[in-house]
Amino acid sequence: MNDKEVKKEKEDLKTSIRNFLVTFVIAIIVVTFIFTGGPLLGINDFIKDLGKTKIKNEDGTISIPQEAQVAQNRDNPNSYVGRIMNQKIQLGRQDEFNIRLSSIMSSQQINPYQKYQYARMIFDNTINKIIGMKNAHKMNITISKNWLNKEVGKRYFSDSEGDINYEAMKKERGKVNKYAKEIQEDLLYDSFVQDYFKGLPVTQEEALENYKLENVKVTLKYINLSTQEVDEKLLAKFYDENKDSYKQYKLTRLVFKDKTEAEKALKEVTKDKAKFIEIGNKLKIEDKIVNIVYDSEYSFIDDFENADLKNAVRTTQNKEVAKTVVQTSVGPIVFYIEDVRYPELADDKLKQKLKSEYIARNFKAIEDENKKKADELYALAKKDGLEKAANKFNLKVETSGASSFLGYGMPNVNPDLTDDKNYIAKAFKSKKNDILEPFKHSNGYMIAMVSDKADVDLKSFEDMYDDLSKKYSNGKSMDIEGDYYTKERKKYEIVDNFSYVFKIQDFIQKQE
């Protein structure tokens, strides 16, 4: 290869490297543009975030714990609660977020958990406002000078009666201009919200439908088939078949300071178990044990604190000393079994344990039996009525309180779940005395009858129509605004460090 060819190869290599670097830089710019919503917007944060742990949240946001504005980061002026489009939400500023947050945190009228919820709402609203402001600028919404001056006057130059002092405004143009700059952004956002979300029309039919959802009341009579209830005879049979699993023990423990002393004592008490307490008292005087612990109640094997202790108890006979020293949370112990018994079925502690373990082992069979019984009850109730159906199976008929469609008063139903919501809708569409199909809930089945249905008073609706129309229009606006921001938030990379800065456990502890 001659000198010209070598020189050409070197030039080609330099060009390739230069092209790669240019492509890489362009790629960073493009990625930043896509994920931050504008050319070069947030490029510094993008570069700073490289190498930092990013945690994906369920709502599509991310968290960067190293950037959270917590005590460990108090010397870092760039730490924050949240970030979007290169704008940071930080504690300690004189801005709307901090003013609203301070007002909530200092309030004596709400409990700590409510403060946490309000703080979260203020944070989310701040993120939404940043997005809204960006879109307001895109839409070329303008604020008239007249409106802006009036708003400055109202806020900063009005007397006790609310009248604007225009003479004072003329004298202090510097202040007026400063306040106008601050207020203009607020007015721009308010105008955006007003133009696109507020004042939505509500037809009379819509208003009546909403009014019915709030005010129609339904009362149910119902039979509940619970998977948490077990027949006494089945429990007794289950107990007889598994009796050894439900033995109860009462122990006396010698708690030692160290294992060496415990092992020495074990040899001594094993030789003469009748002197277990006597030897224990002697060791206590010699300051070799921490304490002698006498069980005041009987315990099941599962009640003992760790696997070693459970195994030691299981392999030790009644009135015997355990063969090994067992390490526990209070220290190494040597124990003696004072008594072993099979509790009576009437014992509440036993009955509860039997019931939970029987249900765990037989849940599918119990559920299948309940479904079969629910179908039989439904068919019988449709034919002869709910009371007769209940009597045939010796079951109790209960009565619910009157509940509205939007309320939480219906038994065994959670309005936040889709299937439950569908059942509520069926109940409200039904007529008085209709029998509803069996409803499967978290603990079994319910067969219900609509025993009463109180409809709305149309005269009252007509009298309140104007106020109701405004109320439902506002509700409609809030729903549309909420949907709008849910979609818009997906277009941006939002860093949400809220749960690191405001730990819910701290608020719950304060409430307790």
Type of residue at 224: N
Q: Lowest mean pLDDT of 59-63, 179-183, 266-270, 370-374, name the range.
A: 179-183
Q: How long, in residues, is the chain?
A: 512
- Of 476 and 14, which is predicted with more confidence? 476
pLDDT band at 11 (very low <50, low <70, confident <90, very high): low
Model confidence at 38: pLDDT above 50: no
- Which of 403, 379, 425 is closest to 220 using CA atoms? 403
Model confidence at 349: pLDDT above 90: yes
pLDDT, average across residues 423-443? 93
What pLDDT was estimated at residue 180?
A: 87
Assigned token pair, 162: 């609310």
Query: Running DSSP on this structure, what letter comes out for residue 73?
Result: G
What pLDDT was estimated at residue 197?
A: 85
What pLDDT was estimated at residue 18?
A: 59
What pLDDT was estimated at residue 393?
A: 92
H, E, C per residue of 384-426: HCHHHHHHHCCCCCEECCCEECCCCCCCCCCCCCHHHHHHHHH
Q: Are strands 398-399 and 62-63 parallel, antiparallel or unpaired?
A: unpaired
- Of 77 and 33, which is predicted with more confidence? 77
Q: Lowest mean pLDDT of 27-41, 336-350, 362-376, 384-398, name the range.
A: 27-41
262-265, Cβ contacts within 8 angstroms, sequence gap of 24 or more: 262/325, 262/332, 262/333, 262/334, 263/325, 265/289, 265/334
Q: In terms of DSSP H, where are the helices of 56-111?
A: 96-105
For a pLDDT cut of 90, what percent of the chain falls above it?
A: 57
Model confidence at 143: pLDDT above 90: no
Query: Running DSSP on this structure, what letter comes out for residue 80?
Result: B
Query: pLDDT tens-digit profile of 266-311?
Result: 999 998 888 999 999 999 999 999 999 999 999 999 999 999 999 9
- Is this structure's pTM higher than 0.85? no
Model confidence at 192: pLDDT above 90: no
Give the whole-angstrom CA distance, residue 437 versus residue 428.
13
Evaluate whether 70 touches 501 at the Cβ level (below 8 Å). yes
Mean pLDDT of the chain: 87
What pLDDT was estimated at residue 320?
A: 95
What pLDDT was estimated at residue 256?
A: 95
DSSP string, 186-229: HHHHHHHHHHHTSS----HHHHHHHHHHHH-EEEEEEEEEETT-
- Which of 99, 128, 120 is closest to 189 using CA atoms? 128
Q: Lowest mean pLDDT of 42-46, 232-236, 260-264, name the range.
A: 42-46
State the Cα torsion 62-66-67-72 to the nearest 10°. Answer: 140
Contacts of 378 (CB under 8 A, 6+ apart): 435, 437, 438, 447
Highest mean pLDDT of the ranges 14-23, 135-144, 319-328: 319-328
pLDDT, average across residues 402-407? 87
Contacts of 477 (CB under 8 A, 6+ apart): 197, 198, 199, 200
Query: pLDDT tens-digit profile of 156-173?
Result: 888 878 888 888 888 888
Give the C-alpha distances (Å, rounded to integers) separating 346 from 207, 241, 384, 386, 456.
Answer: 58, 17, 38, 33, 51
pLDDT, average across residues 346-361? 93
Give the whole-angstrom CA distance, residue 382 versus residue 219.
18
Evaluate whether 217 touches 403 at the Cβ level (below 8 Å). yes
H, E, C per residue of 443-472: CEEEEEEEEEEECCCHHHHHHCHHHHHHHH
